[in-house]
Amino acid sequence: MIKYVLKRIGYMLITLFIIATATFFMMHSIPGDPLGAMANKLPEQAKANYYAKYGLDKSLTEQYTIFMKNLITKGDLGESLKYPGKSITDTLLTNSKVSGVTGGLALFFGVVIGVTLGIVAALNKNKWPDYLVMFIAILGITIPVFVMASLLQYLFTVKWMILPTTGWGKPKNLVLPVIAMCFGTIATYARYLKSNMLEVMGQDYILTAEAKGVSRFHIIKDHVLKNAFLPCITILGGQISGIFTGSFVIEKMFGIPGLGFYYVSSINDRDYTMIIGTTIFAAALFVVAQLLIDIVYTLLDPRIRVK
Amino acid sequence: MENDKILEVKDLSVSFNTYAGEVKAVRGVSFELNRGETLAFVGESGCGKTVTAKSILRLLKPPFAVIKEGSQITCDGKDVLALNKKELCEFRGDEVSMIFQDPMTSLNPTMTVGKQIMESLRIHRHLNKKEAREEAIKMLKMVNIPSPEKRIDNYPHEMSGGMRQRVMIAMALACSPKILIADEPTTALDVTIQAQIMDLMRELKEKMNTAIILVTHDLGVVANFADRIQVMYAGQVMERGTAREIFYEAKHPYTWALLSSAPKLAKEAKQELYALKGTPPDLILPLNCCPFASRCEYCMPICKEKNPLETTITDTHRVSCWLQHPKAPKVKSFYDREAK
């Protein structure tokens, strides 16, 4: 097992290296530069100074070497081109924490509620609870998150005036964005778990359990749930890494100082260091989440256990 | 032991509700099973063998499958069709248990085999974990699984097909049920393993005096295993009798057809194997005639008008065929032709 994990970590580092390299060159191949996005009418000398300060006057290979050296030896992603003096690493750490709290809560409630609804729907197939859950699920999938967010803001702040529209720092600031974000997750898990459960309930080994005299409750609890939940872990992996990079729309609408804002705006600003920083950060989270998911999988599913 | 009835099924009718209509899969099947006896259901696919077997444990899923009113299943004095949910759970696995066709899919892949065997012990015998584990090891030893103390913690995928079927048998027999229903227990296994499994079942049957209902389409399996055989076709029993009677004195053209389609070693090597032409009747339609009439070589006008009643030949041997009518012509039986 340890050998397997070490091997996986090795692959992860290679993946990250490739991603960093690819992002670096792709980003520089986009027309325009950070200065162009900020001010067009700077004197030539000011421009030259700016380029010199950030090393943009050097050749691409040279820039690449410097960047890689800093990244590998010091874990330093550089300084933002758009916001002078702002360290990328610090920004990532501070803002991803904010995104992580909102996204994490949303994911937690989304999974718990979604799984519960999925179980309810599967156990009451073709009866009203099933139809109700599927109705909610379809709403959750079809209503865009920004519509949901504005609806919540309208109801809870404009109409009933019980929750703040925007802001950060107090628990009550979290309520609306978390609800808005978890709605889609609820829908995904409810639908997914329902179909998985129905599939598992049709398996031969469930019939075996019935023939043994296992009660319906224990069949669901001991035989169906674990097997039905296993495939859900796969989607969970992608979502876990997603929570730290934040949601651009939600963070904008609720004024949450998360990472989502930087993640998107850095591309428009040609904020090279920020783009690379956020991309590597997201990629690293993703591969780490995948590794965790695979480890969890081997713990839960004996068929893919590594010896 | 004679006439010590453990199971009595009377007029069992089962229908499936499908989009195409009501499929009458089992049509008024009656039979009895004595303590410690082996009864085989024989017939081709779709003849209602498995449905009949599953009905005994009420494993068919309503509202899709319905056991019709008027059906009676009595097991050891218990009216099976009247059991409530809780009683049904107590009945299943304790008094009657079942093993299935495909050991590859019949075990929960994410639970150790030991746990799956212990499950029924804990439900029916109320053993604690430790006792159940010891008992499960004993069961695994009984079904000849080597080093059961280690194997008990295996997951199904770590075992071969034959071993898994042994685990299934251990699981089914864990609570020493009065009846074991084996639904094609060897179909998914290769031939050498088939023989081992059948030997094991015979040995255990004698040891535990369990009555067995064996569902199969393999006459070879039946020949030296079953005490009595019941030949089924289109949801009805066509002929029933002791194994001897069915193999050597069969009276029904369908039984003859089944017997001729089994390969025989003694025959000349190059002889073509007999194949029964046609397909079984559509079970959605009502059948007012002999269901086998359209495929029968000896079909007479009456066969297409009326379903024959059972004719009793000996105490154990009964046939549903118009050929048994006193006025029916004498036909050359399967045995006469074979003897040639």
Compute the average pLDDT of residues B310-335.
86
Cβ proximity of A22 and A282 under 8 Å: no
Answer yes or no: is pLDDT of B2 > 50.
no
Look at residue B272 and tell me whether its pLDDT is greater than 80. Answer: no
User: pLDDT class for B269, splitting at 50, 70, 90?
Assistant: low
CB contact under 8 A, B109 and A205: yes
Q: Does the CB of A230 have a partner CB in chain B at under 8 Å?
A: yes
Provide mean pLDDT across the span B198-219.
Answer: 89
The reply to whether A127 touches chain B by the CB within 8 Å rule is no
What is the full per-residue pLDDT of chain A (307 aa) written as tens digits?
Answer: 788 889 989 999 999 999 989 988 888 887 777 776 666 677 778 878 877 887 777 888 888 888 888 888 877 777 887 777 788 888 888 888 888 888 999 999 999 999 999 999 999 988 999 999 999 999 988 998 889 999 999 999 889 888 888 888 888 888 888 999 898 899 999 999 999 999 999 999 999 999 999 999 999 999 999 899 888 888 888 888 888 877 888 888 888 888 887 778 887 777 888 888 888 888 888 888 888 888 888 888 888 776 5
Q: Determine, for residues B107 and A214 on separate chains, whether the beta-carbon distance falls below 8 Å.
A: no
Report the amino acid identity of residue B317.
H
Q: Do B100 and A207 touch (CB under 8 A)?
A: yes
Report how far residue B232's alpha carbon sits from residue B238's, in angstroms, rounded to the nearest whole number. Answer: 6
A278, A270 Cβ separation under 8 angstroms: no
Of A211, A216, A226, the CB nearest to B59: A211
Among B80, B108, B154, most A C-beta atoms within 10 A, so best to mutate, is B108
Give the pLDDT confidence score for residue A196 in this predicted structure.
Answer: 94
Residue A289's CB is within 10 A of a number of other CB atoms, namely 19
For an interface test with B, which of A212, A216, A301 has the most B Cβ atoms less than 10 Å from its Cβ? A212
Cα–Cα dist B250/B253, whole Å: 8
Cα of B47 to nearest chain A Cα, Å: 21
* Nearest by CB: A204 against B97, B106, B155: B106
Q: Which residues of A touch B120 (CB under 8 A)?
A: 212-214
- DSSP, collapsed to helix, strand or coil, labels residue B26 as strand
| H or E element that contains B78 | strand B78-79
Using CA atoms, how far apart are residues B66 and A215, in angstroms rounded to an integer?
21
Read off the pTM: 0.82
DSSP state of B308: P
B263–chain A Cβ distance below 8 A for any pair: no
Residues A291, A9 contacting (CB under 8 angstroms): yes
Q: Is any Cβ of chain A less than 8 angstroms from the Cβ of B106?
A: yes
Q: Count of CB atoms within 10 A of residue A280's CB?
A: 20
Contact A227/B at CB under 8 A:
yes
User: If residue B7 lies in a helix (H) or strand (E), which one and from where to where?
Assistant: strand B5-18
Does A302 touch chain B if contact means CB atoms closer than 8 Å? yes
CB pairs under 8 A between A and B: 81
Q: In 3D, which of A283, A299, A294, A303 has the Cα closest to residue A13?
A: A283
State the maximum Cα–Cα separation within chain B, in Å, rounded to a whole number. Answer: 68
Residue of A nearest to B117 (CA): A212
Does A227 contact B123 at a Cβ distance shorter than 8 Å? no
Q: Taking CB atoms and an 8 Å cutoff, what residues of chain A touch B105?
A: 203-205
A125 contact B CB<8A: no
Instruction: Produce one character per residue of B140-160: b if its CB has 16 or more CB atoms within 10 Å, e if not.
Output: bebbebeebeebbebbbeebe
Which of B89, B98, B100 faces A215 most closely, judged by CB atoms?
A: B89
Of B102, B110, B120, the CB nearest to A226: B110
Computed on alpha carbons and rounded to an integer, the radius of gyration of chain B in Å comes to: 21
Q: Catalogue the E-assigned strands of B141-272.
A: 179-183, 211-216, 228-233, 236-242
Instruction: Compare A238 and B237 and report the one with higher pLDDT.
Output: B237
Helices A260-268 and A272-300, interaxial angle, to 10°? 140
pLDDT over 50 (residue B122)? yes
Residue B30 φ then ψ, to 5°: -125, 140
Structure tokens at A67: 């960047």
Cα–Cα distance measured from residue B151 to residue B142, given in angstroms and rounded to the nearest whole number: 13
The distance of B110 to chain A (nearest Cα, Å) reads 6
Q: Cβ(A19)–Cβ(A281) under 8 Å?
A: no
Distance CA A160, CA A146 (A): 20
A215 and B92 within 8 Å at the Cβ level: the answer is no
Maximum distance among all Cα pairs of chain A, rounded to whole angstroms: 86
Rounded to 5°, the CA angle B92-B104-B57 comes to: 15
Separation of alpha carbons A109 and A106, rounded Å = 5
* Confidence bin at B340 (pLDDT 50/70/90): low
- Does the beta-carbon distance from B120 to A214 stay under 8 Å? yes
What confidence tier does B132 reach under pLDDT thresholds 50, 70, 90? very high
Using the Cβ of A204 and the Cβ atoms of chain B, whether some distance falls under 8 Å is answered with yes
CB contact under 8 A, A207 and B59: yes
Q: Decide: B224 and B195 in contact? Cβ < 8 Å.
A: no
CA-to-CA distance for B318 and B302, rounded, in angstroms? 20
Q: Is B124 on the interface with A (CB under 8 A)?
A: yes
Interchain contact B119–A (C-beta under 8 A): yes
Residue of B55 and A240 predicted with greater confidence: B55
Residue B299 touches partner A, C-beta closer than 8 Å = no
- Kindly state the helix (H) or strand (E) to which residue B126 belongs, with its residue range: none
Beta strands B5-18; B65-67: pairing state: antiparallel
Q: Is B85 on the interface with A (CB under 8 A)?
A: yes
Q: Above 90 in pLDDT, residue B7? A: yes
Q: What distance in Å separates residue A122's CA from the closest CA in chain B?
A: 15
Residue B331: its pLDDT value, please?
81
Q: Is pLDDT of B24 > 60?
A: yes
On whether any CB of chain B is under 8 Å from the CB of A300, the answer is yes
Q: Is A307 on the interface with B (CB under 8 A)?
A: no
Write down the pLDDT at residue A256.
86
Tokens of B251: 């009276």
The reported pLDDT for the residue numbered B135 is 92
What would the pLDDT profile of B166-203 be if each residue is shown by its tens digit?
999 999 999 989 999 999 888 888 888 888 888 888 88
What order of strands is seen across the sheet that includes strand B236-242?
B96-99, B179-183, B211-216, B38-42, B228-233, B236-242, B318-320, B310-312
Residue B283: pLDDT band (50, 70, 90) is confident
CA of B313 vs chain A CAs: smallest distance (Å): 36
Chain A interface includes B97 (CB < 8 A) = yes
On the question of pLDDT at B1 being above 70, the answer is: no
What CA–CA distance (Å, rounded) separates B162 from B172?
15
